[in-house]
Amino acid sequence: MPLTLREVMLGVRRSPLLSALSVVTIAFSLFAFGLFGLLVLNVDRALRGVEEHVEIVAFLADGTLPEAVSTAMADISSFPEVAQVQEVSPEQALARARAELPEFQDVFDASFLPPSIEVRLKEGHRDPRTVKEVTQRIQTYPFVDDVRYGEDWVKKLYDIRNIAGAAGIALGSLFAAVAVIIIGTTIRMTVLAREREISIMRLVGATDAFVRRPFLLDGFLKGIIGGLLALLLTWGASSVISHSLIQTTFFDPGVAALGVIGGGIIGLLGSALSVGRHLRRV
């Protein structure tokens, strides 16, 4: 077994409780972070779902020739911001109204509803400015009577997304910082518990790198194990919420793996900082 790994195992065997405590502390710090991440993910997803409904409806003038509508649709489809263009005839509009609004159940004449073109925008192009710009372009067609896109609604949605994004970054950074501090302190306890050993290592001519190596590996492994535990806890919490409250989305495997590796890196950094500070003193 390589010497560094043997030293790590020896450290764990010598103080199993402290090692377990380190792993649990790391796990809970990352669990708190994971829960927050889950909240951000689901709020983001919910907002995205709402945002998908952002659409521009262009009402067409009576008697617009079908060729003109087709040309306009092809034209609008080629806008870089546009994802989908759909023509809605008065009959389709009435069928939809009947399905969505009970007061339309008794209406049988579709002629009072104008034909329209519904335009959906691509993700990343649903901000108020772009929506307004596309709307203005559509308005230039002579057979377009009116264009609606729910200006206030789009603006509010955009504001909510911005606030949620900023809060996510701020709180996420705070959670990450707290996790780093807690993990760093825990690892520092491990370093202090082995202070005598470090002084003996240095006395017999161990280089700083040699002294540091087992601690770095120790921190990394504890971070990975803590990260896996945190992932398990977060998954458990997500399942419980999904079963008892609302359906939640869990991290995709790539993000989950990144979280576990992140735990390892935090453990490694925490160790590097603690040992570095300690070595400078001795």
Partner 1 sequence: MIRFSHVVKEYPRTGLALQDVTFRVNKGEFAFLTGPSGAGKSTILRLVIVEETPTAGEVRVGGSLTSGLPRAEIPRLRRKIGVVFQDFRLLEDRTAEQNVAFALEVTGAPRDAISARVSRLLTQVGLASKGTSYPKELSGGEQQRVAIARALVNDPVLLVADEPTGNLDDRATRGVFQLLRDINAAGTAVLMATHNLELVKRNEYRVIEVNRGQLVFDSAEGNGAGVVTTPSPA
Point out which residues bind partner 1 (CB under 8 A).
Answer: 3, 10, 13-14, 196-197, 199-208, 210
CB of 274 to partner 1, least distance (A): 18
Query: What sections of 123-150 are H helices per DSSP?
Result: 128-139
Which residue, 207 or 242, is less far from partner 1 as judged by CB? 207
CB of 279 to partner 1, least distance (A): 9
DSSP H or E run through 153: helix 151-193
Kindly state the DSSP code that residue 127 receives in the 8-state scheme.
S
DSSP string, 216-274: HHHHHHHHHHHHHHHHHHHHHHHHHHHHHT---PPPPHHHHHHHHHHHHHHHHHHHHHH
State how far the Cα of 139 lies from the Cα of 46, in Å rounded to an integer.
Answer: 31
Which residue, 43 or 206, is less far from partner 1 as judged by CB? 206
CB of 14 to partner 1, least distance (A): 6
Q: How far is CA 40 from CA 212, 229, 248, in A?
A: 37, 20, 11
CB of 220 to partner 1, least distance (A): 21
Which residue, 3 or 255, is less far from partner 1 as judged by CB? 3
CB of 226 to partner 1, least distance (A): 25
E strands along the chain, which residues?
55-60, 82-88, 116-121, 144-148
What type of residue sits at position 107?
V
CB of 188 to partner 1, least distance (A): 21
Which residue, 142 or 205, is less far from partner 1 as judged by CB? 205
Which residue, 82 or 211, is less far from partner 1 as judged by CB? 211
Phi, psi of 126 (to 5 degrees): -105, 15
Which residue, 36 or 210, is less far from partner 1 as judged by CB? 210
